[in-house]
Structure 1
Amino acid sequence: MKLIGQRRPRVGPAALAALLIGALAFGTPAVSAETYAVPTAPVAVTVVQADGGLMVYWRGAQGSPPITNYVISGGPGSCPVIVGPNARRALLPALSKEAMTVTVEAVNSYGFSPSKASTGTIAANSLASSDLKNVQLLQFSDFHGALEASSTAIGAAGLAAAFEADRKLSKATLTLSSGDNIGAAPPISSQFGELPTIRALNGMRLDVSTFGNHEHDRATQHLREMIRYSDFKWIVSNYSSLKGLKASNDKRAQSYTIIDRGGVKVGVIGINTSQTVDQVFPGNLDFTYAGVSSEIVIQTGVVKAQRAVDAATAAGADLVVALIHEGWNQNLGGEALGPLIGFAEDLKGVAAVYGGHSHQQFSSVVNGVTTAMVKNSGVQYTRTQLCVDTKANKVLGSSVEFIGKSDVASLTPNAAVTTMVGGYKSRLNAKMDVQIGTVADLSPRGGRPAVERSGEAALGSYTADLVRAKYEVDLALLNGGGIRDTLPAGNYKPADATLRRPAGTQTVGPFDVTLGDAYTVFPFGNSISTAQISGAGLWAALENGVSNYPTDGRFPQVSGFKFSFDSTKAVGSRIVSVTKTDGTLIPKDTASYSIATLDFLVYGGDGYSQFNPANQQVRDLLVDVFTEGLKADLAAGKVTTLKTDGRITVIK
């Protein structure tokens, strides 16, 4: 499978080969090297009829970092092309006689420009070669059991309806997920063993998913049961063994799959983050097969995944798509940064790369390959059009759109999925619609970068303070990634209409908090552990906590002390100062402090190796401590206020 960038493929009449990529003498205006952004939109887009489709002309955009490609598309069902940065015309192949609205977008490493459009009509004798096919990919990631629609989330029934509408636009449509479908989910999924989410994915007619780290939040046996209930295929290409993920001969994880859809054979491979071993509870990657105990080892790099790409191609795939549970982190200094970018650069022979894990929107063309990822919890999905020459086994190009809640608002949610979700909802509300507190304001979570993963978060400080006070310890340290929603939770919808809840963009309360909110914010079932830690150990723990700043879930939320850090310093020296709340220094020495943290962290989760599991004392569930604190304020007639106080300082 070979993606065509600036080469001239033979895909039909001679004029198509000659005119696919043409360069005119338009210069690109100079821009400041210190100003980085996505490109400006191309200008003066015009189209004329041509042999094989529409000839599209445009004038160049401005870009810093430099423009790497232009993407020309006719929308759903079309045959997009990708050309080089100096091109100023391209032939857009026509697959039908219908008029097309053509868009041209400039691309750099930061992303896509706004599009510039023009409309053209296809002549009866101007169709492209019949070997050219459209493939449409509908992709999402990090769904995390967000079954219910909210002010931002589309919801399972809405996604099912949207996908069904999109499938009518192209016969060769596949629906894909880059992992974390389950785990870290609101109670409507987690309280029923995640089965509601699997049933919802079946209702969405998902075709293929890879695994994310949260698929392993429970034991391998549980994941095997989820595979048993799945009507879609699970694939992962970088696991040492797939034996533990075999529910039956028909329901099992595979290293790749090929789906023949609309006359096109689409191969799919998957990569899960190697950080999974640090991000799940110890033992969750263990399995027993044929009486032999073993462990899933998740390979770094692309060696095993590349073998899967090559195997799918050898088995007859017309193109191969990569689902990667790794993310883009940030754009900095003219470069797009994050593991997803590295994988997209290293994989060979793939037509599109889809990421996940870091819960942020990103799209660009990396080494000629469209690379994209979406926000989490069903807020959006990508709709990608690819143009594949099935005879030559080549892809001419692809274009990607982000589809959000407003884009599908006119669709009627899928009735069957609505009924299924409603059944679980009615069972859940009887237990979870119990008021446990009142908060003065909506406590935020997420953002770009996520507040709880990049600095002090009000919800993190409040919870850490509760934990430290309950167990009367010197210090408390929690992981920001354990916070999974705002408070009140956007992904929990009480049935009790008398409860005061945020509406629209409202952030000022008071708002009522329910037990369902607590379980949505803290869904993991982690327990509090108390232990001892030295000053040197605390410095090392904090160093680990900021090591993947600004997007990783290991970022610390703390109580009983303050710290400052500089992310630009060398590894091992990023923590600049650590003091008690009163300003007393906590030196990097052997002095011992009592600390409350999570059992997950004590056992090495999120890379924390500074605790001794043998010396911990396991206490209560974190969610119970959180609930108890809110209930105490409610009983006292107090509205709980969550705020930051400067206990974490980000220098750079």
Structure 2
Amino acid sequence: MTRRIGKIAVLIMAIFALTFTGIVSAQDQLPGNVTITFAHTNDMHGRIVEGADVLGFPKIYSAVEQLKASNPNTLLIDAGDTFHGLPVVNIDRGETAVKLMNELGYVYMTTGNHDYNYGFDRLMELSKMAEFKILAANVYKDGERAFPAYDIREMGGVRVAFFGLATPETAYKADPKGIEGVTFGDPIVEAKLIVAELAGKYDLLVCISHVGIDDSSDPTSITVAKFVPQIDVIIDGHSHSTLADIEKKNTTSTLITSTGSYGAGLGVVDIVVGPDRKVISKTARTITPKNSPDLKANPSIAKVLDDLVKAQDAVLSQVVGRTEIKLEGTREIVRTQQSNLGTLIANSMLYATGADFALMNGGGIRDSIPVGDITMKQIYTVQPFGNFIQSGKVLGKEIDAILENGVGKLPAPDGRFPHVANLTYTLDASKPAGDRVSNIMIGGEPIDPEKEYTIATLNFIFNGGDDYRMLVGKAQNDYPTDAEVFMAYIKYLGTITNDNIVFKK
């Protein structure tokens, strides 16, 4: 109650401060125009190694160095969901990501919901390893701010204030056990409080946000900009939006920018501040592999990354279980029929989530596992994409459309083919697509059309991947990556046989 009253009092002062900003004493004039550049990343999810559509840390370093050579008033920022994703960062629970971010010279970051996937305590450990500041004004642990809310630095004589905002959705998108005692304040309220506290102390206000612009999010970064117009720039994450996506939606005077996701690009923001310390112009662009084909990887960063990956090989060779049967992951099979490996993976989702049924798409199964010991490397070979397990609610009458989509391309092999757990159905592939599924049962019982069931599947599927568009917007809870969940289930089973593939609650 005391903290709430204190916030209300500060918010009243905020309104007063925002109304009478003209009474702040004037700063000295700048000798001329000053250009400030922010290079930024977001939602990398472990995509730090260069690929066809991934810029990669070595090239990001080179691009930032070029920006600094053109303008010394340049710094590098990340907007979250960086410590967790692919095996390269998961194996040591985010330490590799932090080490490389230190090498690249990141200055600021805010937390994404997936950065809590190792638990809050581990995130705090990573923050202590970081040579950059993690800012988050609205993250509280046991009633106290868990991270610095803001930081002010001078860039070319301009006072630039940075503050961070995390998505409140973290409260239910991260494992609740890992964030006990952690709360996430309203981004709009927290932003207003920061503006009030910093009144008269900055010339340029930058919000590093992992809030996003998804219509399902409340609030969005655009809403924050509408209610807190003092923010000059929002460097955003969470919704995996590109700069073009944001420009279509943003009607505020605040520049909001993001790079998409999965290391697809490096964002660049250029701000020109006039001698009177007022912003003259704000522009944004994105450096991508396609529009910068001549960008070369920095050899020293490439070597650091290569050495780290080699050091992880010893970890990847660790045995996590054993199978007495071949686990079938052949492409032509898993894209046309349910295999024992698909069954095992789908049941691992039930084990992790407690859902009523689970679905794994055949396209996400990339290899078989032969009889014998199972290593971490084999698991990450089978499931290399770093997708996250999510769960959500569907009505019984909606399940038919899910399954019809999954079998709709038969007899042709297709990545959408559904490998299911705790669900059975009758398939007649001779019928027209859309009318092939009947006799759907969950847990051995016919589905109730009006009953809500919990489905577990990949974030890729919940995002409409493989044309599962009927599941878009239905995800409610987040879990670790598919490979991590699969590995946990294998460890739980110990030795896999034909008799124990199916999870028994």
- The TM-score with structure 1 as length reference comes to 0.51
Match of 1:164 in 2: 65
Match of 1:376 in 2: 261
Q: CA 1:305/1:624 → structure 2, altered by over 3 Å: closer, same or farther? A: same
Larger relative contact order (Cα-Cα within 8 Å, sequence gap ≥ 6)? 2
**Is residue 395 from structure 1 mapped to residue 279 from structure 2 by the alignment?**
yes
**Is residue 299 from structure 1 mapped to residue 200 from structure 2 by the alignment?**
no
Secondary structure at the residue paired with 1:284? helix
1:228 Cα deviation after fit: 0.9
Residues in 1 aligned to 2:274 and 2:65: alpha-carbon distance in whole angstroms = 26
Match of 2:108 in 1: 208
Residues in 2 aligned to 1:227 and 1:460: alpha-carbon distance in whole angstroms = 43
Residues in 1 aligned to 2:349 and 2:193: alpha-carbon distance in whole angstroms = 52
**Is residue 415 from structure 1 mapped to residue 275 from structure 2 by the alignment?**
no
Check the 8 A contact 1:313/1:320 in 2, yes or no: no
| Equivalent position amino acid for 2:395 in 1 | W
Check the 8 A contact 1:327/1:339 in 2, yes or no: yes
Check the 8 A contact 1:468/1:475 in 2, yes or no: no
Residues in 2 aligned to 1:329 and 1:363: alpha-carbon distance in whole angstroms = 10
Task: Deviation per CA, 1:587-636: give whole Å up to 9, x if none.
Answer: 25789x9x9969xxxxxx96469xxxxxxxxxx9434668999x999x9x
1:521 Cα deviation after fit: 3.7
Residues in 1 aligned to 2:80 and 2:169: alpha-carbon distance in whole angstroms = 14
Check the 8 A contact 1:268/1:322 in 2, yes or no: yes
Query: Is there any run of 5+ residues in structure 1 with no aligned partner, and where?
Result: 1-127, 247-252, 287-294, 444-456, 490-512, 529-536, 547-555, 563-576, 599-604, 610-619, 636-652
Q: CA 1:301/1:585 → structure 2, altered by over 3 Å: closer, same or farther? A: same
Secondary structure at the residue paired with 2:172? helix
Task: Deviation per CA, 1:538-573: give whole Å up to 9, x if none.
Answer: 639989xx9xxxxxxxxx9965268xxxxxxxxxxx
Residues in 2 aligned to 1:441 and 1:156: alpha-carbon distance in whole angstroms = 35
Match of 2:119 in 1: 219
1:514 Cα deviation after fit: 4.0
Secondary structure at the residue paired with 2:178? coil
| Equivalent position amino acid for 1:440 in 2 | R
Task: Deviation per CA, 1:302-361: give whole Å up to 9, x if none.
Answer: 0112221333343x2210111211223379xxxx99823222222221111122112231
**Is residue 321 from structure 1 mapped to residue 222 from structure 2 by the alignment?**
no
Residues in 2 aligned to 1:307 and 1:149: alpha-carbon distance in whole angstroms = 40
Q: Which residue of the other structure, out of 573, 586, 599, is the alignment partner of 2:447? A: 586
Match of 1:517 in 2: 381
Match of 2:395 in 1: 539
- The TM-score with structure 2 as length reference comes to 0.64
Task: Deviation per CA, 1:450-498: give whole Å up to 9, x if none.
Answer: xxxxxxx999999874456799999853489xx9x96559xxxxxxxxx
1:272 Cα deviation after fit: 0.8
Residues in 2 aligned to 1:527 and 1:328: alpha-carbon distance in whole angstroms = 20
Check the 8 A contact 1:267/1:321 in 2, yes or no: yes
Residues in 1 aligned to 2:77 and 2:301: alpha-carbon distance in whole angstroms = 18
Residues in 1 aligned to 2:89 and 2:328: alpha-carbon distance in whole angstroms = 23
Check the 8 A contact 1:465/1:476 in 2, yes or no: no
Check the 8 A contact 1:223/1:245 in 2, yes or no: no
Q: CA 1:467/1:233 → structure 2, altered by over 3 Å: closer, same or farther? A: closer
Q: Which moved more, 1:321-330 or 1:345-354?
A: 321-330
Check the 8 A contact 1:137/1:174 in 2, yes or no: yes
Check the 8 A contact 2:161/2:206 in 1, yes or no: yes
1:174 Cα deviation after fit: 2.1
Check the 8 A contact 1:132/1:389 in 2, yes or no: yes
Check the 8 A contact 2:136/2:150 in 1, yes or no: yes
Q: Which residue of the other structure, out of 49, 54, 75, is the alignment partner of 1:148? A: 49
Match of 1:533 in 2: none
Match of 1:340 in 2: 221
Taking the TM superposition and a 5 Å limit, the aligned residue runs for 1:274-285 are: 274-285=168-179
Residues in 2 aligned to 1:561 and 1:432: alpha-carbon distance in whole angstroms = 35
Check the 8 A contact 2:255/2:282 in 1, yes or no: yes
Q: Which residue of the other structure, out of 331, 356, 377, is the alignment partner of 1:440? A: 331
Secondary structure at the residue paired with 1:297? strand
Identity %: 16
Q: CA 1:520/1:259 → structure 2, altered by over 3 Å: closer, same or farther? A: farther
Larger radius of gyration: 1
Q: Which moved more, 1:215-224 or 1:359-368?
A: 359-368
1:165 Cα deviation after fit: 1.0
Query: Is there any run of 5+ residues in structure 2 with no aligned partner, and where?
Result: 1-28, 319-325, 368-376, 403-417, 426-436, 458-473, 479-483, 499-505
| Equivalent position amino acid for 2:43 in 1 | D
**Is residue 139 from structure 1 mapped to residue 40 from structure 2 by the alignment?**
yes
**Is residue 266 from structure 1 mapped to residue 160 from structure 2 by the alignment?**
yes
Q: Which residue of the other structure, out of 217, 227, 232, is the alignment partner of 1:351? A: 232
Match of 1:309 in 2: 195
Check the 8 A contact 1:203/1:416 in 2, yes or no: no
Q: Which residue of the other structure, out of 291, 310, 330, is the alignment partner of 1:426? A: 310
1:222 Cα deviation after fit: 0.9
> How many corresponding residue pairs?
394
Check the 8 A contact 1:522/1:623 in 2, yes or no: no
Check the 8 A contact 2:365/2:383 in 1, yes or no: no
Secondary structure at the residue paired with 1:240? strand
Q: CA 1:205/1:400 → structure 2, altered by over 3 Å: closer, same or farther? A: same
1:389 Cα deviation after fit: 2.6
Secondary structure at the residue paired with 1:406? coil
Residues in 2 aligned to 1:169 and 1:242: alpha-carbon distance in whole angstroms = 45
**Is residue 231 from structure 1 mapped to residue 123 from structure 2 by the alignment?**
no
Match of 1:477 in 2: 357
Check the 8 A contact 1:328/1:337 in 2, yes or no: no
Check the 8 A contact 1:149/1:156 in 2, yes or no: yes
Task: Deviation per CA, 1:25-46: give whole Å up to 9, x if none.
Answer: xxxxxxxxxxxxxxxxxxxxxx
Task: Deviation per CA, 1:107-155: give whole Å up to 9, x if none.
Answer: xxxxxxxxxxxxxxxxxxxxx9844211111111012222211111111
Q: CA 1:213/1:258 → structure 2, altered by over 3 Å: closer, same or farther? A: same
